[in-house]
Amino acid sequence: MKEENTDNKGEGESSKEGSKKLTEDEIFELKKKECLEEINKNPKYQEEFEKYNPYSLDSFKSRYAAAKANISIYGNNYIRNEERIAMLYRAEAEERFWDIQQKKLFDLQCRWRAEEIKIPEIVISEEFHYWEEHISICPFIPNITQQELDLYMEFISSFPYDEKIEWVGNWQDYDEFKMHLTKDANAEWDSEEYSLWYKFHDSRTGQNLFQTLPDIRGKKENFYLDIIRERRRKEREEHEKNSPANNTDKRPDLNSYYEDYEKFIKRFEDVKLLDLHKANDRREGMDEDRGLNNAIETLQTADETVEADYNENWRQGIIDAANGYRRKRILQELPKTYKDYKFRLSLNLLPEDTSKISRDHKAAMVKLLKKEILEARKINGEPEDFNF
């Protein structure tokens, strides 16, 4: 009876120990031991070991068992990481793929502004910004052809990655491009340069519609919007006239500058918040190394040896090497993207549109400008429609 109780206690303790969560190192050691036992027992290994000096076998077996254990435990993670990296390049290639359609949409905008064509889905120019955000589902742009893909891949191949694979802030910003082109002194901020991809496309096709076609429609829209702006100006002047207190207040403005933040924190906040504020400022100061860190990560995950050209600036040399590798991977992925695109077209499947927030913002802006133009037409004694 005593022995039975002892056995039961032992089983209980064993069960309790078995339920205890093992550490990562303990899991590894158990797996390594299992692999080593299999190596020592499996005849296929023994036959191979006969060919080698027996004094070297123990060290080899131990290291080989550790390698097998490591692969067995973490191998799937390595594969998933490689797949994740491949998907990043695929996602970037898909993003770049739609640059082809952005150029076609911009050329349509140039022709629409010149009143060469009418587009049923377009009433005012702001709607081109709407479709810029939803280029993958834009219904009035012709499908991408193999020739267009070839031209875009030539564009990527022809120049350094960082110069030519670009993230344009506003692909359809006709007015900003025009201000940059004419170096408009009245521009409130630095206008965007005409897209490098657009320039390349124009040089290859000989169709520079942006510079050769007039902006008839845009000038008409601005005529009506100026009426609204003038009315707002008069309303503001009238408001200021009736609110003299606003004009006599000589106190300084409180600006949203770093110095003002720090001054307020020192006066009103806990000293710990000041330390965090300064630490955040130091972090922002290190952002210049972000490009270098990204480049190093890219090279670390490369599936081949990447050579770097000589550069007196070693940081830039590393960044250039990483950019060259990324360009190569994107060029590898673009044909796959096009194949998937053609397959979806054959099934009449539209790409998923995931930019709901932007869509809501752009749709609201379109609605507002339409309302203002119609209001200006009414003020000007004209019909409240867009037939102008």
- Looking at residue 97, what is its pLDDT? 95
Does residue 238 share a domain with residue 370? yes
| Nearest 10 degrees: Cα torsion 149, 151, 152, 158 | 140
Q: Which residues are CB-neighbours of 94 under 8 A, at least 6 positions away? A: 333, 337
Query: 180 falls in which pLDDT band (50, 70, 90)?
Result: confident
Domain boundary among 65, 92, 119: 92
Q: Is residue 250 part of a domain?
A: no
DSSP state at residue 120? T
Under a CB-based contact definition with an 8 Å cutoff, are residues 150 and 310 in contact? no
Does residue 262 share a domain with residue 314? yes
Q: Is residue 349 part of a domain?
A: no
Does residue 287 share a domain with residue 189? no
Total domains in the chain come to: 3
Integer Rg of the chain from CA: 33
Q: Is residue 134 part of a domain?
A: yes
- 113-156: pLDDT as tens digits: 999 999 999 999 999 999 999 999 999 999 999 999 999 999 99
Does residue 109 share a domain with residue 218? yes
Q: Is residue 232 part of a domain?
A: yes
From residue 368, alpha-carbon distances to 127, 135, 141, 177, 355 in Å are 12, 22, 25, 23, 20
Q: Which residues are CB-neighbours of 124 under 8 A, at least 6 positions away? A: 221, 366, 369, 370, 373, 386
- 340-352: pLDDT as tens digits: 999 999 988 877 7
The CA-CA-CA angle for residues 239, 253, 191, to 5°, reads 80
Q: Is residue 146 part of a domain?
A: yes
Among 55, 71, 46, 89, residue whose Cα is nearest residue 323: 89
Does residue 228 share a domain with residue 109? yes
Give the max Cα distance, the chain. Answer: 109
Does residue 88 share a domain with residue 117? no
The region of weakest confidence among 38-47, 73-82, 105-114, 154-163 is 73-82
Among 310, 332, 331, 330, residue whose Cα is nearest residue 321: 310
Residue 274 has pLDDT above 80, yes or no: no
Q: Which residues are CB-neighbours of 137 under 8 A, at least 6 positions away? A: 350, 351, 353
Please report where in the chains the tokens 């692909």 appear, as a residue.
171
Q: Is residue 107 part of a domain?
A: yes
Domain boundary among 92, 107, 132: 92
Does residue 160 share a domain with residue 236? yes
User: Is pLDDT larger for residue 340 or for residue 248?
Assistant: 340
Does residue 142 share a domain with residue 128? yes
Does residue 271 share a domain with residue 159? no
Residues of the domain holding 190: 98-243+354-388
Q: Is residue 149 part of a domain?
A: yes
Does residue 365 share a domain with residue 290? no
Q: Is residue 166 part of a domain?
A: yes
Among 335, 328, 343, residue whose Cα is nearest residue 97: 335
Per-chain mean pLDDT for the chain: 81
Does residue 150 share a domain with residue 231? yes
Burial 263-302 (b: 16+ CB within 10 A, else e): eebeeeeeeeeeeeeeeeeeeeeeeeeebeeebeebbeeb
Does residue 362 share a domain with residue 283? no
Residue 233's Cβ-count burial label (10 Å; 0-12, 13-18, 19+) is: exposed
Domain boundary among 47, 66, 92: 92
Task: Report how far residue 303's alpha carbon sits from residue 301's, in angstroms, rounded to the nearest whole number.
Answer: 6
Residue 218 has pLDDT above 60, yes or no: yes
